[in-house]
Amino acid sequence: MFRLQTRVLLANVACACAATATGAVLLRGGAPAWLAVASALAVALVVGLAAARIATSPARQALRALHDGVTGFAESDFATRLASPSPDEVGDLVSVFNRMGAILREERAELIQRELLLDTLLQGAPMAILLLDQRQRIVFANAACRRVFHGATRLNGRLLAELVELAPAALQGPLRRGEDSLVTWDQDGQEESYRILVRAFHLNTVSHRLVVIERITHELSRQETATWKKAIRVMSHELNNSLAPVSSLAHSAKVAASRPDAAARLPALLDTIAERVAHVTSFLEGYARFARLPVPRPETVALAPFLSGVSQLFPYTLDTPVGEAAGWFDAAQVQQVLINLLKNAEESGSVPEEIRMLVDARHDGVLLTVLDRGTGMDEDTMRKALLPFHSFKRAGSGLGLSLCSEIVEAHGGRLHLARRQAGGMAVSVWLPNQATRT
């Protein structure tokens, strides 16, 4: 079978031959030249049209099939496969179409499998998952959403505002505001806790929001139980360490009081008992302060006088000029944090000249960094340093850095520990401003 270009060329040759033969016959028969030329052109036109139609017929059929196939692609129908009419240019195009269709069918099958897998995972997830479009209309909702919205059957396509009324009252406010929240309420005498996470993103250049509503009652209960057990172990250990010697000392004091020759030891024994009682009292007061941490009352605080007041309570070197910069925090609580960090720097063995503070006042908050050249911490100590009841000092209660972290987090900030290359620690306190926090 000839290629399309060859068939068209043969049609042109046939047209030329027919025209030449017609003109020659008429001229030989004595016909006028104009008649021979006109007749030759007419024959050439008829023969050319017929030959061209015959030569391009397979190509035209294949092109119509290609048109239908491409239209099917546009409608996501990748099942069409065309038969190659001939090994010519159009046949090559049909082969390319078939290969492209095979690739699209394979990719679509893989995409369907991935979607089925993802849908299976999301439908089986214990937390409620909602995908909202830019109009707050539900694009996707898994099976767990029915439990949150009290058995609502049809969720996809509905506005979130329509379903909020079906959710527990404690969840309605955070869902309307579209913000991350931790919600707890009493239900039939049992405390229920839920966590709401909201994330915005763009899908095909269109704004969407992902809302995850997770019941964490059991997890919080387990964590609370574990925390109580740890607190009880620590307190039991600390009290036993203090009360056992006190019991022994009290017995010795009783013996000394009954024996005139040992009476001289009595004041020392009583002083030791008083010292151990004071230690236990201080220990318990520390835990009480941790439990009674008040809610911060942030306000605009000029940094220059605030840091000057801290330096009067605990001297340090300020490495950066503050100028007119201000922060948004509870001055009393943040002062307590800085004094605790400066005290830790001193107790780490750093010379006073190396206890310094860096201040970075930004548009979205203030970063305060306390630097020292003390003994520092190893990796294991750093991982546990912010945990309650864990102390890296011999006589520590394990509440100093925990209390600092609790205060900073209550301000919406974060506390970060880092080791310095030449020795010592850098403890950073990030305090966001009012606009960032709200």
- List strands edge to edge, sheet with 181-187: 138-141, 128-132, 206-215, 190-203, 181-187
Tokens of 89: 């240019």
C-beta separation of 159 from 136 below 8 A: yes
Task: List the structure tokens of 311.
Answer: 């330096």
Half-sphere exposure of 124 (CA within 13 A, CB side): 6
Is residue 423 classed as helix, strand or coil in its secondary structure? coil
Q: How many helices and strands (H and E) does the chain possess?
A: 13, 12
Of 63, 61, 41, 43, which Cα lies nearest the Cα of 51? 43
Residues of the chain with pLDDT under 70: 1-16, 18-19, 21-41, 43-62, 84-90, 151, 227, 231, 234-235, 237-238, 241-242, 261-263, 279, 282-283, 286-292, 384-399, 435-438
For domain 125-215, give its CATH number from 1.20.1440.230, 3.30.450.20, 2.60.40.3080, 3.40.50.2300.
3.30.450.20
Entry field: residues in the chain: 438
- Report how far residue 131's alpha carbon sits from residue 197's, in angstroms, rounded to the nearest whole number: 12
Q: Tell me the pLDDT of the chain averaged across its residues.
A: 78
Task: Give yes or no for a contact between 141 and 129, defined as CB atoms under 8 angstroms apart.
Answer: yes
pLDDT of residue 184: 84
**What is the pairing mode between strands 317-318 and 356-362?**
parallel
Q: Cα–Cα distances in Å, from 315 out to 200, 299, 353?
A: 46, 25, 10
The string over 288-326, giving b where at least 16 C-beta atoms fall within 10 Å of a residue's C-beta and e elsewhere, is: eebeeeeebebeebebeebbeebeeebebebeeebeebb
> What's the pTM value of the predicted model, to 2 decimals?
0.46
pLDDT for 10: 62
The residues, ordered by sequence, that sit 6+ positions from 338 with a Cβ below 8 Å of its Cβ are 310, 314, 357, 368, 370, 429
How is the chain split into domains, by residue range?
4-108, 125-215, 220-291, 299-437
* CATH code 3.30.565.10 for 299-437: yes
The first and second tokens of residue 91, run together, are 């046949």
Please write the tens of the pLDDT for every residue from 168-213. Answer: 888 888 888 888 888 888 777 778 888 889 898 888 888 999 999 9
pLDDT at 430: 94
d(CA 281, CA 287): 10
Look-up of token digits 């527990």? 168
∠ CA 136-142-144, rounded to 5°:
110
- Residue 300 sits at φ, ψ, to 5 deg, of -70, 125
